Structure 1
């Protein structure tokens, strides 16, 4: 049997209480709503292990078309845990980081929508300006503005 090869990362999924608020927030960051629909029935539960389920899903896509964010609102079964306020060093979901341009302008717009700056905006070796925010529903989101042509790979290789 041939070894399978990774093709791409398809999406990252986040469960939210308000799909409308989450869509609005991620649209403000720059993602586009690709589609919205219900995922229901026993077949879906076989994938997730949750049994018969009813979930409203919205798929958001980045401007380059390569990355997607799947937002889900569970109708049944009800959500059973809430990790949204966990700090950045908690096990499990950590955060999503978006590379943006004009970080200050975007941050101002997101704060006007209720986002909160977690720490401060920092300059990392004149390569990136970065910050973490708590966005809609307290989700931890990273924003990074690239200042030079160095890549994340270059940074990690220096370590």
Structure 2
């Protein structure tokens, strides 16, 4: 059986604000829609499923995020995910300039949880709390190929 990662789906509080965050980082919106009906109820497992969605593509053409803002049923607010919570953890991006990525994130009110760390002189890494509490990791490779 062949398998490949299609996308990572993230429910968000404010679709437009989240799109702005990720497009400022360099992702591109490749599709938008409002979905509902029996097929979405079946696929997602929620009766009356109705959501606004946007598909975003990374610049390299491989990674995709599917963002969705629920219209019905009402979105459930939970505490933001912590790095040690079980379940969906974070979205990680390789960046060529972590300082620039952090400047862009800061324009959206998103800052590192603690700071920027260096892993064995190979990577600079940090987690930021993105829109809707999404944990986003930036990793800058220090040893260039």
TM-score when scaled to structure 2?
0.94
Identify unmatched segments of 5+ residues in structure 1: 151-159
- CA offsets per residue over residues 16-72 of structure 1, 9 Å max, x none? 111100000001111111111011101111111102311110000000111100000
In our comparison, the structure showing a higher alpha carbon Rg is 1
Distance 1:57 1:109, change over 3 A: same
Deviation at 1:149, TM superposition (A): 5.1
Asked if 1:51 is matched to 2:47, the reply is: yes
Asked if 1:22 is matched to 2:13, the reply is: no
Q: From 120, 125, 133, give the equivalent of 2:115.
A: 120
SS, match of residue 142 in structure 1: strand
Q: Which residue of 2 is the match for residue 140 of structure 1?
A: 135
Deviation at 1:81, TM superposition (A): 4.6
Q: What is the RMSD of the two structures over their aligned residues, measured on CA atoms?
A: 1.4
Aligned equivalents of 2:114, 2:42: Cα separation in 1: 41
Q: Which residue of 1 is the match for residue 88 of structure 2?
A: 93
Aligned equivalents of 1:34, 1:80: Cα separation in 2: 27
TM-score when scaled to structure 1?
0.86
Aligned equivalents of 1:106, 1:86: Cα separation in 2: 21
Aligned equivalents of 1:35, 1:101: Cα separation in 2: 26
Deviation at 1:9, TM superposition (A): 0.4
Q: Which residue of 2 is the match for residue 36 of structure 1?
A: 32
